[in-house]
Amino acid sequence: MEELSNIIYQWTGQGDQGIKGTLLSIPFYFLAGMVASLFPCVYPLYPITAAFLRNRATEGQSVWRHPLLYWIGTSLAYSLLGAIATASGGAFNQLMQSGIAVLLTGFLFLFLVFVCLDWFTLSWNFTGGWTQALANRSGSLMSLGMGAITGLVASACVAPVIISMLLVLIQNPHNASLLLQVIKGFVLCFCFGAGLGAPLFLTGILGARLPRSGSWQRVIKYGFAIGTVLAAVYQINKGLEIMQLESSQIYNIFIGLCLLFIAILLGLKPAETNDRRAVVRFYFALITLSFGLGLIIRGISFIPSLTNELSHKQLAKKNDSYEAIGSLRFYRDKDYALSLAEKKRLPIFIDFYAEWCANCKDFNRLVKKNQTLQNTLQKAILLKVYDTDSDFEYFQKDPQMKELQIGLPFFAVINSNEELLWKTTNYRDSKGMIQAIQKHSPQGKD
């Protein structure tokens, strides 16, 4: 993933000459989208796409119609992302990593499991007028819209590539007008979305032609459904952790969600009084629903104050104060870290962090589990910079760290003279972090 990010930056960030540079960049953005579509977190979208487009196809329509609209929708989602990025400097990245956005992505995955298993059919049921003709007869808007939603869901999975892509787009060579930059962002991100959506388009074409019956298909369908559920659980858990919930409260919420699902399966529709089985099942469903809602409310009620949490961390930033992650000490003051690095002749590893950044918190967990990474980080001066710190604004103005203009996560290794030695937006690039510290630390190869 990190290698792909570097390729995008090198090929599209050099020699940008207006329209010519944009045209030369098009095939690389398309190729980057194709590679991004192979990321494991995008896999659950393939069976969902096949199930959705299979139900869209109607007799007499071309098999290409809805997959093509779906593909265009995915491309348009990224083109709008590019336009927003060039106009706002990357605020969309912060939005997509917020707790609410990550939670919604998880619940969307859960909802699409029902679509994948044919338990729910996506359709618009308007009554009369032009909306009925537009939606029910052709279903074009639904196919276009679902393609766009798929693109947005996938964007949370391929964040490092997107950040590298947006980093190039926000640059403003030769004082180009904002309108031209927005157009450039729109075109190049459309190409990236087209590359990412190409396999989804092929899935829709092939899926629409496959028969619905057959035991082998059921095994594949349920297998993909289980994988999608796991992806949804991961996203929901990630979102709740960003919102500062403790593990016990997250367990309560997940148990509550399971009980809600059981209540739905039991049936919440009141039964006829002469059908005793149905009546008993209905009352059990109500009881299960009550317990589920109770556990969810109990879990949500324990969300701590984010403001208090941030205030506490900001107060901690004083001279040699530090924040512990596992056995490591991340200092909270830039000047102190620089003086310590000069004294000990060690490089500085900087972890740029924000409470809204899902992948930043994932890095904290990764550090605690990866003993090799922990051992290597102990051979560097560690600095943690929050997006609310004045130091963050200081580094954000550094032309060597333009990634901070886009969003987080971002990591860097510098020396005591503030010269950039290494950087990445990929929080899982443990190998790169280890190699960078070993290369520039006199203790690195011990």
Same-domain pairing of 189 and 274: no
pLDDT band of residue 97 (cuts 50, 70, 90) is: low
- The verdict on 296 and 208 lying in the same domain is no
User: Does 249 reside within a domain?
Assistant: no
Q: 377 and 406 in one domain? A: yes
Q: How far apart are CA 56 and CA 41, in angstroms?
A: 25
DSSP 169: H
Residues forming a β-bridge with 331: 322, 383
Q: Shortest CA distance to 348 belongs to which of 403, 400, 423, 404?
A: 423
In a domain, residue 250? The reply is no
The whole-number pLDDT of residue 261 equals: 83
Which residue blocks in 301-330 are alpha helix, DSSP H?
306-315
Q: What is the average pLDDT across 434-445? A: 82
Return phi, psi of residue 138, to 5°: -110, -30
3-state SS, 374-426, equals: HHHHCCCEEEEEECCCHHHHHHHCCHHHHHHHCCCCEEEEECCCCCEEEEECC
The number of distinct structural domains making up the chain is 3
pLDDT at 236: 86
Sorted by sequence, the CB contacts under 8 Å of residue 173 that are 6+ apart come out as 16, 17, 18
Is residue 14 a part of any domain in this protein?
yes
380 shares a domain with 326? yes
Contact 97, 357 (CB under 8 A): yes
Residue 355 in contact with residue 310, Cβ under 8 Å? yes
- Band the pLDDT of 265: cuts 50, 70, 90: confident
- Is residue 436 a part of any domain in this protein? yes
In a domain, 251, yes or no: no
* Residue span of the structural domain in which 352 resides: 308-440
Helices (H), 267-353: 276-300, 306-315, 334-344
pLDDT of residue 104: 80
Q: Tell me if 446 is assigned to some domain.
A: no
Asked if residue 309 has pLDDT above 70, the reply is: no
Residue 286 shares a structural domain with residue 356 = no
In-domain check, residue 247: no
Q: Give the Cα separation of 228 and 117 in Å (integer).
A: 11
Q: Are residues 98 and 162 in the same domain?
A: yes
- Do residues 136 and 263 make contact, with C-beta atoms less than 8 angstroms apart? no
Contacts of 324 (CB under 8 A, 6+ apart): 330
Q: ω into residue 409 within 30 of 0, thus cis? A: yes
Torsion over CA: 123, 126, 127, 131 (sign):
negative
The answer to whether residues 273 and 124 belong to one domain is no
Same domain, 27 and 161: yes
Q: Angle 178-209/65-88 helices, nearest 10 degrees?
A: 150
**Same domain for 296 and 312?**
no
Read off the amino acid at residue 147: G
Report the first-to-last Cα separation within the chain, whole angstroms.
29
Residue 178: pLDDT band (50, 70, 90) is low
- Count the helices and strands in the chain (H runs, E runs): 19, 6
- Whether residues 316 and 296 share a domain: the answer is no
pTM strictly above 0.85 = no
The mean pLDDT of the chain is: 75
Rounded to whole angstroms, the Cα distance separating 51 from 246 reads 36
Say if CB 408 and CB 354 are below 8 A apart. Answer: yes
* Amino acid type, 126: F
For the record, the structure tokens of 206 come out as 């092939």
pLDDT in tens, 389-423: 989 989 988 988 888 877 788 999 999 999 999 99
439 pLDDT higher than 80: yes
Question: Mind listing the pLDDT tens digit for each residue in 351-379?
Answer: 999 887 878 888 988 898 899 999 999 99
CATH number at residue 399: 3.40.30.10
Q: Is residue 140 part of a domain?
A: yes
Same domain, 285 and 158: no
Would you say residue 308 has pLDDT above 50?
Answer: no
Range in 33-37, 211-215, 335-339 with the lowest mean pLDDT: 211-215
Q: How far is CA 196 from CA 46, 147, 164, 348, 430, in A?
A: 12, 11, 15, 36, 26
Strand (E) or helix (H) holding 22: helix 18-36
Same domain, 392 and 416: yes
Q: Which of the 8 DSSP states describes residue 123? A: -
Q: Which pLDDT belongs to residue 412? A: 95
